[in-house]
Structure 1
Amino acid sequence: MMNSELWQLVLALQTEYTAIVDSGDWEKWPALFTEDCVYKVQPRENFDRGLPLSTINLESQGMLKDRIYGITETLFHDPYYQRHVVGLPHITAIGDGKINAQTNYAVFRTKPDGHSEVFNVGYYLDEMVMTGQGLRFARRHCVFDSEMVPNSLIYPI
């Protein structure tokens, strides 16, 4: 059974994640994950068919840090803002020191000289664990509904 304190920890991690990726405070993003984490962004069709191909597949906190370095130091792209609208997490399992949840999301993208548009819609499949730093993502699997991503996927979903 879920207690309210655990529920609050899950919500706090979800809202902190959203605040960091929406503000572009990229240096804080990897700290939301465990050292041996997995962060994956995958089209729903591939996920549903059990196919491994993903748009992004990072398999450690070090790889997340490399991604941030790429975003801030090496990638050239049209700048844009993103804004997440995230549903309440549905806790699907608790046990063995893990909390599993599924949470719907929608990401809107706004270019400084343009209008806002729906950029990415789907759901997160999360595995969270308690660490010395608090609740962290051991796995965050972003399954997006469309087979297409407009232009390229630069920032974390």
Structure 2
Amino acid sequence: MDLQQAVERLHARYAHALDEGRLEDWPEFFTQNGRYRITTAENEDRGLPLPVLYAEGRPMLRDRVQSLRHANIYEPQRYRHIVSSVLVEQLDDGHARSVA
């Protein structure tokens, strides 16, 4: 399997886990020191670094799952992620960047 196929498969497994409500699996899609960042389009356009949500490392991601499961109060939701046009850029040995 080449890099493009491997990353497409990763995106598909990631989306499927979230769609199935398997939030406890979510941190495992990141490296130990991986970063998760949500920002607004306006902040991105202006070059402003402030994210709406930021987590660095699996422990923070696990805390986010615990918060979603036990602390935050939301109406039950269902998701269906549609992943398309996966772009993969090889950075160096063992590292790549992708957007979908």
Shared fold, TM over 0.5: yes
2:33 counterpart SS class: strand
Match of 2:95 in 1: 98
Greater fraction of residues in helix: 2
Q: Are 1:81 and 2:78 an aligned pair?
A: yes
Q: Which runs of 5+ in 2 are unaligned?
A: none
Which residue in the other structure is 2:10 paired with? 13
Q: Secondary structure at the match of 1:51?
A: coil
Greater Cα offset, 45-54 or 15-24: 45-54
Deviation at 1:84, TM superposition (A): 0.9
Query: Is the aligned partner of 1:31 residue 2:54?
Result: no
Runs ≥4 residues deviating over 2 A:
none
Shift of 1:36: 0.6
Q: CA deviation at 1:17?
A: 0.3
Give the deviation of 1:75 after TM superposition.
Answer: 1.4
Secondary structure of 2:50's match? coil
Match of 1:55 in 2: 52
Count of paired positions: 100
Q: Distance in 2 between matches of 1:72 and 1:55?
A: 19
Separation (CA, whole Å) in 1 of partners of 2:99 and 2:89:
7
CA distance in 1, matches of 2:89, 2:31: 20
Identity among equivalent positions (%) equals 32
Matches within 5 A, 1:88-127: 88-103=85-100
Output one character per residue of 1:2-21: Cα deviation in whole Å (capped at 9) or x when no partner. xx522221111100100011
Amino acid at match of 2:55: L
RMSD: 1.4
Secondary structure of 1:84 counterpart: coil
Deviations 1:97-153 (A, max 9, x none): 2111221xxxxxxxxxxxxxxxxxxxxxxxxxxxxxxxxxxxxxxxxxxxxxxxxxx
CA contact (8 A) 2:35 2:57 kept: yes
Q: Which runs of 5+ in 1 are unaligned?
A: 104-157
Deviations 1:25-77 (A, max 9, x none): 01111001011111001111211221012111111111000000011112111
Instruction: Confirm whether residue 42 of structure 1 aligns to residue 39 of structure 2.
Output: yes
Q: What is the alpha-carbon distance in structure 2 between the residues aligned to residue 76 and residue 84 of structure 1?
A: 22
